[in-house]
Amino acid sequence: MTKVNKLHHTRYRVNDLARTVQFYRDVLGLQETRRHKSPRGSELVFLKAPQSEELIEICYYPSSGPVQVQPDLTHLAFEVDSLEEFGLHLAKLGLKYSDGPTLNDRGGGFAFIDAPEGYEIELIQPAKSAPGALPV
């Protein structure tokens, strides 16, 4: 039977490769796994979260024109131990949440920050409840 096996990566095209990679590395703590130029000339940087296998491909290809991200079009979601602690980390970098945090009575919640180019990043704090429960 032919079907996909797993998610390999998600690609986001950007206007400023260095600024975007710095954001994902310094703000979110992602690790760069590789970097190269594609046969068509786009510059590609692959990043991953420490506890994930899936990659994020950041693509710089100015020949395609400027990137203009529509509001609420797409986002990446990452799990964090504590939205409060992550908020303090953001403050040290001169940043803040663009929305939230929104917490529930089980201790779970979510918040958003804006990445370069206008892509949204959702941060999820898992609920402190029974195994198998939904994270937020």
- Where does 74-122 have alpha helices with state H? 83-92
* DSSP helix/strand/coil, 78: strand
Q: Is the pTM of this model over 0.85?
A: yes
Structure tokens at 48: 């991953």
Could you give the domains of the chain? Answer: 1-61 (3.10.180.10), 71-136 (3.10.180.10)
**Per-residue pLDDT tens digits for 82-127:** 999 999 999 999 999 999 999 998 889 999 999 988 899 999 999 9
What is the Cα–Cα distance from 49 to 30, expressed in whole angstroms? Answer: 5
Please name every residue paired with 31 in a beta bridge, in sequence order, or none if there are none. Answer: 48
**Per-residue pLDDT tens digits for 42-58:** 999 999 999 999 999 99
- Residue 94 is classified by DSSP as T
